[in-house]
Amino acid sequence: MDKHLQKPKIHKIETVARSRLFNVESVDLEFSNGARRIYERMQPSGREAVMIVPVIDDHIILIREYAVGIEDYELGFPKGLIDPGEDILEAANRELMEEVGFGARRMEILTKLTLAPSYFSSKMNIVVAQNLYPQRRQGDEPEPLPQVRWPIAEMMKLLNEPDFREARNVSALFLAHAWLLQR
């Protein structure tokens, strides 16, 4: 397969808009065929994130969290940014304690996903957490996150739930399902 594509040359990167959370950059690009484009993207932050599929008693645990982009609650797996100094599994365990009230004695990283890489640099590490024990840590959630325990035997039926629709959640479901089947 052709892995030797010649990357465009970046002539200039400029910040064109800035808010508390977002920095929008314009990137002046010249493709190898001479085509010139100005693209916009979010400034790469370098911080990765984790999404955790917690397994307990033949069930997986999901949460319902308010998502202001769609002004509705979404069903999905606990997740969050990796803090400076944390590694992937430390962050996964902390988020699990904050959002679900469990720690995990066994965790495995399944993969690292990107998200609309034409605009964002963000990377999401998918982690399966097993051998859970009750352990609550205070997070910054504005309200408690309702939990759902879903039987592993019927895991793929989650795809029929109208509020289980997020691409990283859907990917994590399939990846965790394949991983659990192999065990």
- Closest CB to its own copies among 1 and 133? 1
Question: Contact letters (x/-) for its own copies, 108-147, by CB under 8 A?
Answer: ---xxxxxxxxxxx--x-----------------xx--x-
Give yes or no for a contact between 65 and 148, defined as CB atoms under 8 angstroms apart. no
Please identify, among the stretches 18-26, 84-92, 96-104, 130-138, the one whose residues bind its own copies according to the rule CB under 8 A.
Answer: 18-26
Comparing CB distances to its own copies, the nearer of 114 and 131 is 114
Tell me how far, at minimum, the Cβ of 133 lies from its own copies, in Å.
25
Nearer to its own copies, 39 or 105 (CB): 39
Instruction: By CB under 8 A, tell whether 154 contacts its own copies.
Output: no
Contact between 69 and its own copies by CB under 8 A: the answer reads yes
The least distance separating its own copies from the CB of residue 10, rounded to whole angstroms, comes to: 7
Beta bridge partners of 25: 15, 41
Residue 181 touches its own copies, criterion: CB under 8 A: no
* Sequence-separated contacts (24+) of 53-56 with Cβ below 8 Å: 53/77, 53/126, 53/127, 53/128, 53/129, 53/172, 53/173, 53/176, 54/78, 54/96, 54/100, 54/102, 54/104, 54/129, 54/132, 55/128, 55/129, 55/130, 55/132, 55/152, 55/180, 56/102, 56/132, 56/149
